[in-house]
Structures are given as C-alpha cells and as structure tokens.
Structure 1
C-alpha cells in the first residue's frame, strides 16, 4: 500500500508497539480493532501494551479511548515514522485514484500513476505485516481481528453496494460478501494474511515461499474472483516481507546516502513508466488478474511477478527514505488512515458515476491535474482527522463486547481482585 522517536536517524529505534488498529494498505491507541495493521495506528505519542498486536493499511484497537492502557508494565512510545508513512501512503493512494481518469489523455499523468501504483499499496501492506509480527491465536487478538477487519468489511461492502445502486443507477447490483467491490479487497486480504501469520513464523524460507505462491497465482486463471484471491495471493509477499522485517532495516533506509540515491531511482522509474505507458497495461499493478486474463502468455506472469516485486521493494525503500522521522503536523492522522482509505472511495467512485471528469475539460489540463491532485490530498487528509474517526468509529472499530464470551483467565483475575 510510511519520523522516528530518535530523530538522529542512525541509532536503533525502539521496536514500535505491536498493536494493530482497525488498515494494506492499512497503531496503538487503546486497542479496539485489528485493522490498523497497515492502515491505522493510534495517534503518535500514545502508549500501548508491549504484547499487543500491531496495526491497513493499514488496525486493531480494543477500546475507543486514546488514553494509555495501564498494565503495570513498561510501555513503549509510538514511533512517529510509521504514522507518517501511513499518512503519506494514503495520500498517494487518493491522488492515484484521482489521476486514473486523466491517464488516457496525459502521458505524464499515466507515468506518475504507474510509478505510484508500483509502491503505494506494497508500502502499506509491508507496514501491516510489520505490525502483525506478534499476532497469534490468542482470544483478544482474534476479537480485534473480527471487530477491526471482518466487521468493517461487511459494513463497507454493503455500503459500497448500496452506493453503487443509486449513484450509478444500477438497482440490480447485488450485495455479495464473496466478491469485494473496489477498496474492500484490502480488508479481506488483511484478514487472511493475519490469520496465516503463525504459519509464516514456522516455515524456514517465508519470503521465497510467498513469492512462489504469488507466481503460481499469476499463472492460474481458474482462481476466479471470489474474495479477490488473486490480489490476496499476489500481494502476499509484501505482507510476509513486513513480518520478517527488523527495526534496524528501517534504520538503514533512513540514512542520508539512501535518500540521495533514491532521487535518481525515482527519476529513472518515472522515465521508464513514461516509456512503458503506451506499451503495457497498468492492470499488472492491480494484481487482480492472471497473466492469461491480461492477454499475455503464462510465462509473462512469472517474469512480471518477480520484476514487479523487485521494483516495488526498491521504490518502497526509496519512499521510506523520505518519510520524516520526527513528529509532524500530520503524524496524528496516521491513526486514521483506514478511515481515509475506505471513506474516500465514495468520492473517488462518485466522481466517475457523476461524470465530473467528462463534464469539466479543464481537469485534463496540466493546471487542472495539479488542482485535482491537491483536492484529493486535502479530502483524504480531512477523512483521517480525529473528528471523522469519532463519527465513524461505530463502523470501523466497534467494541461488540456483547458478541464474545468473557475470557476465563480475565474473569479469574477479576474475582481474585474483588476478594483481595
């Protein structure tokens, strides 16, 4: 689909809290859902329990409060770097969605679109994997996975379908929880990836295995569209890469040499995308189809999967090199990236349904393209703000205590306290 506590950059930063609020896109506030894995984190400056499951987008909180959870154990400070990265990644996601209708008439817009699509979701997903490292089948983490990922998926899949029926004048559009529409695929993917986390910790070569699975998916047209499994499997290597990442790896990409090297790399990527724009379909970057479905021979799927993974990993590292390490004005918005991700989809799709890009020719001019980009960034920023989070928390991070049995160990501790 990511300012650090130590602004000096070369010292090892403390391990960020392994708690995942409700996305992969794509942090620890008081835990309430599980999605933050790649998307949201709690606002910078809050604390989390050392053992809590991280994050989407990437995302799990277990409560709606932003106050630190008191456990009697030392707590760890949120690393601003990851909140900054999530916010900047979601801004790129929104801008790329705004560029899509402009790519037919502008080769420059198409080059920007392809370049950003190479790394924005991989970056989001990698962060989700990084904050999922402590995930296991413990009951509280499974609850956060349900309330922070599965429940928002159901709510937004239904909401998107109803929106399409009326905005696109398509009353026959069915509600299908097996066929994610538009952005909800990320929630399905995060749910599956997180459930498989314990397995990836067991195998000896997790990343090569994940790449092999992605390659096999690319050459298997019979997988079909159920649960968007093509995307789940083809993006899997980035989640697994996040799982095996260590804090020192992020310190490496923050070095000044890497930042300087990233400039010619990004420039080369833009030039390559400008050249490739008329010669290839951008559908390769969506990873939702097999090679055969894109009209290419099966072996092209093998080549493109490995080549795109390499390009995405390099550009993601270059992106991380430019993410601020200190607390910024937008750091707090990193906790609301899942909100921005899912909510901006209504405007992104609505702009197509209502013909905005067809009715206003000025949008297809260079100045119009710049203005569209700024508007997209401003809108998704607004949607990540705390007031919007409070307004939609019922859908993104529901508590749902009524739906789960009380944990026997927790009940025993409560009884022991009351009798003491």
Structure 2
C-alpha cells in the first residue's frame, strides 16, 4: 500500500508540502522493509527450489520488460532505447535487485561478518558514479544490508523470541511512538518557512540511484554542500555522504523494525491479501501509469493538499483491489508463470 501511495503521488509531490512530506516519510522505510522481508525468507543454500525461485524472478522481469515496451510503444509511440533491459523499467528494478541479492547471498554468507560487508558496500558504492541504474546496481547495494540483516536475524533466531513474536503493549507503543515521532518531525519541518522541501530535497537521497557528488550538488542538506574539488574536497564529500547515508540507513532500520512490531499477529483478510503482494507491485504500475497519462493525477494534484488526500485514498483502493483473489486468478500467467519446463524433470519435482 505504501508503494502504491508513493508512486501515485510521485509526480505531484513537490506541488504541496503535504505531498512532499508524505512521499519522504514513506520512502524513508518502505523499500527497506520490503527488502528486509525478502531477506527474512531467503536462504544461502543453492537448492533446486532456490534456483527455480530466482529464475522465476528473472523470467517475470523479462516478461514485464516486454509488457512495458509494448504499452509505451502503443500509447506513447516510444521505441526500444539503448538502455532496454540494461536499465530496468520503472518498478522492475526490485525484481532485478532481489534476484541479484539471492544470487549473492551464498557468497556473502561465507564471510566472517556479512552484515558489515553489506553495510560497507552500501555506504561506499555512491562514491563511484559508475554504479547507477544499470541492472539496478546502485539500489541493490544500497538495500543489501537490510536483506542480509534480515537473513541473519532469521538464521540466528534474533526474532524468534516472545519480544518479537508476541510483543507487549509497551513495545508496540514504543514502535508507534517512533513512527509517529518521525511523522511529526516531517510535519513540523513542512510547516517551517520554505518547508521541508526548501530545507532538504531528501527525496533525491531516498531513491538511491545517484552518487554522493550528484546528491550533494542537487540536494544539499540545509546549507551544507560537501561537494568540493580536489583531494580535500573528495574526502569531505566521502565523509559527508557516508555520514548522511549511514544515518538514513539507521533510521530506516529502526522504522522497519517498528513496522514489523506493530503488524498484527492474528489472521485476517489482510493476511490473505498480503500473500498476493507481487500482484500489487507489478500491476499497480500499469494503473498508476494510466492515471498519469490520462491527466487524472495532475488534475487531482491541482487541488493541493486535498488532492494528496484523495490520491492517497485512491491508492488504498487500488492496493486492496489488486490483492483480491479474482485479480490473482486472471493475471497469474504473467505474475507467477509456471517455469517447470525450464528444468530437468528431477529438479522440477524438487521445486514444488
């Protein structure tokens, strides 16, 4: 649901302080949380089932790259660019990053301190401008600590205690307090003269696509621009980038844990809908794209903060609709295609 909201308000987020603050708040933790959940259920063993699962991600990615190419060709008249398949189309970066992380996990798991390695890579990668959107390399490295950290938590049983499996009211209240405090801070900053957007284009830091040099040049933190020239300037850029990146990573980790603590442990309709997350992730892009191309998003966005509230409500409805059984039944061939025919008969049987 947070993904759908973020994408639907994305093109109008800078029109209002509410839209910008809401977008920044969501992007502080929603993708780290999704990556962490993926890592929580990943294993470093290279089994036939694990291989099939990773191959299926790649197959779905390739299929949807084709779907997006056809849609944009028919509606927008766009031809295949030189970056086709090299730079994943819009939301498809997640599939590429997830497949890459699963492939890397068996190797990372063999080092002595896997989380330290993943964190180091995440903080150092933005120093290299060449690491960008191609094959989602920048985002893969940026979110790798959440994937590895969640895998370690499951591997070592850090989340198997009652404190997590059945959190107390006090712990849940603390989690709500953290999420609420960050939201309140965003609201206060948005009300200041110039607003949060005038103080810091934090949204550019939270997409994890660009280098520290680009971000400090285009989204300096307040009046602090660490983007300098020469050797001294490079060290200032590196130190500043790692400091800001590290703080954002810690905040994302804390908010992700808080989110997991407040999620209900009981079974409900939301539990059933939650099993169809991939349908929402892949299909909502087409819905959001259609609403943008038709001018609906811009028209609603012109209503100011009321428009942001309306777009948020639409996002909730879209997420709920795409979570239904009917949608999963109709779109299963392009979201969860059967790929048993790709494997030898004995391996295909082992994947079921």
Q: Place the TM-score, normalised by the shorter chain, in its bin.
A: 0.7 to 0.9
SS in 2 for 1:289: coil
Corresponding residue for 1:38?
Answer: none
Corresponding residue for 1:264?
Answer: 177
SS in 1 for 2:276: helix
Corresponding residue for 1:144?
Answer: 53
**Which whole-Å CA distance do the structure 1 matches of 2:98 and 2:76 have between them?**
28
Distance 1:249 1:255, change over 3 A: farther
Q: Deviations over 1:166-223 (max 9, x none)?
A: 3334345567111101100000011110111212322221111101001111111122
C-alpha contact (below 8 Å) 1:122/1:312 kept by paired residues: yes
SS in 1 for 2:92: helix
TM-score by length of 1: 0.70
**Which whole-Å CA distance do the structure 2 matches of 1:287 and 1:396 have between them?**
26
C-alpha contact (below 8 Å) 2:60/2:335 kept by paired residues: yes
1:157 paired with 2:65, answer yes
Q: How does 1:270-289 map to 2 (within 5 A)?
A: 270-274=183-187, 275=189, 276-281=196-201, 282-289=203-210
**Which whole-Å CA distance do the structure 1 matches of 2:315 and 2:65 have between them?**
22
- The gaps in structure 1 that reach 5 residues or longer are 1-90, 412-420
**Which whole-Å CA distance do the structure 2 matches of 1:351 and 1:395 have between them?**
22
C-alpha contact (below 8 Å) 2:282/2:335 kept by paired residues: no
Once the two structures are TM-superposed, the CA of residue 384 in structure 1 deviates from its matched residue by 1.8
**Structure with more contact order per residue of length (Cα contacts < 8 Å, sep ≥ 6):** 2
- The gaps in structure 2 that reach 5 residues or longer are 190-195, 218-226, 228-236
TM-score by length of 2: 0.83
Q: Deviations over 1:80-99 (max 9, x none)?
A: xxxxxxxxxxx111112222
1:347 paired with 2:287, answer yes
1:200 paired with 2:140, answer no
Query: Normalized per residue, which structure has more helix?
Result: 2
Corresponding residue for 1:380?
Answer: 319
C-alpha contact (below 8 Å) 1:339/1:389 kept by paired residues: yes
1:338 paired with 2:258, answer no
Once the two structures are TM-superposed, the CA of residue 364 in structure 1 deviates from its matched residue by 2.5
Q: Deviations over 1:34-64 (max 9, x none)?
A: xxxxxxxxxxxxxxxxxxxxxxxxxxxxxxx
Corresponding residue for 1:300?
Answer: 240
**Which whole-Å CA distance do the structure 1 matches of 2:349 and 2:294 have between them?**
52
C-alpha contact (below 8 Å) 1:223/1:229 kept by paired residues: yes
Count of aligned pairs between the two proteins = 318
My pick for the range that moved more, 165-174 or 386-395, is 165-174
1:395 paired with 2:306, answer no
Corresponding residue for 1:321?
Answer: 261
**Which whole-Å CA distance do the structure 2 matches of 1:365 and 1:289 have between them?**
29
**Which whole-Å CA distance do the structure 1 matches of 2:80 and 2:301 have between them?**
31
**Which whole-Å CA distance do the structure 2 matches of 1:404 and 1:262 have between them?**
45
**Which whole-Å CA distance do the structure 2 matches of 1:331 and 1:410 have between them?**
28
RMSD over equivalenced CA pairs, Å: 2.3
C-alpha contact (below 8 Å) 1:179/1:227 kept by paired residues: yes
Distance 1:362 1:283, change over 3 A: closer
Q: Deviations over 1:232-254 (max 9, x none)?
A: 11111110111111355264353
